[in-house]
Amino acid sequence: MNELQLTGAKTELFNADLRQQLDDWIAKYPSGQSQSAVIPGLHLLQDENGGWLSKDIMDALAVYLSMPAISVYEVATFYSMYDLKPVGRHKINVCTNISCMLNGSEEIVQHLKKRLGVGFGETTEDGQYTLKEVECLGACCGAPMLQLDRDYHEHLTTDKIDKILDGIKS
Ligand code: FES
């Protein structure tokens, strides 16, 4: 996807298509509650910006939703689904919370770190993958699990991870 053409915090810097999509989200909430669209708005803008949110983008969204910029930052920094620095083409979110931990997430993590040659919060040299550690993703019955972009992969083994990553390569 193309990166947003943002040079400041002015909402007119959102193109017409983005404004329409934001307006569609705002319309789902009661009048005067445009700030309720902050979560889908951040998702939308992050997707349009190559998977991450810059300060300019968050500032522009705050203006668009008539809310303080600090409130947008609070949401964007609270949830692990938002990234505030450039990321790889694919995001791998590994759950290390209790069910996944008890079912072998440590082995999964070590395998991914070794195979990709990066630690948590890092992106591979070729720009393909960003590896992240996340809290419970609500798929505890499939532990250990990870999220690759939007897809969940459960009951992981090291072999299964290799197949998933080999599948992306090919
Ligand atoms: S503990 Fe990993 S998905 Fe819930």
Alpha helices in the chain (DSSP H): 16-26, 38-48, 55-64, 69-78, 98-102, 105-116, 158-169
Q: For the chain, list the domains and their CATH numbers.
A: 11-78 (1.10.10.1590), 90-169 (3.40.30.10)
How many Å lie between the centroid of ligand 1 and the Cα of residue 7?
39
45 vs 6: CA distance, rounded Å? 11
The pLDDT, as a whole number, for residue 169 is 76
pLDDT at 75 over 50: yes
pLDDT at 109 over 80: yes
With cut-offs at 50, 70 and 90, classify the pLDDT of residue 76. Answer: very high
How many Å lie between the centroid of ligand 1 and the Cα of residue 18?
33
Longest dimension (CA), the chain: 51
How many Å lie between the centroid of ligand 1 and the Cα of residue 98?
7
pTM of the model: 0.85
With cut-offs at 50, 70 and 90, classify the pLDDT of residue 2. Answer: very low
The pLDDT, as a whole number, for residue 1 is 37
With cut-offs at 50, 70 and 90, classify the pLDDT of residue 137. Answer: very high
- 149-163 per-position pLDDT tens digit: 999 999 999 999 999
Tokens of 28: 């789902």
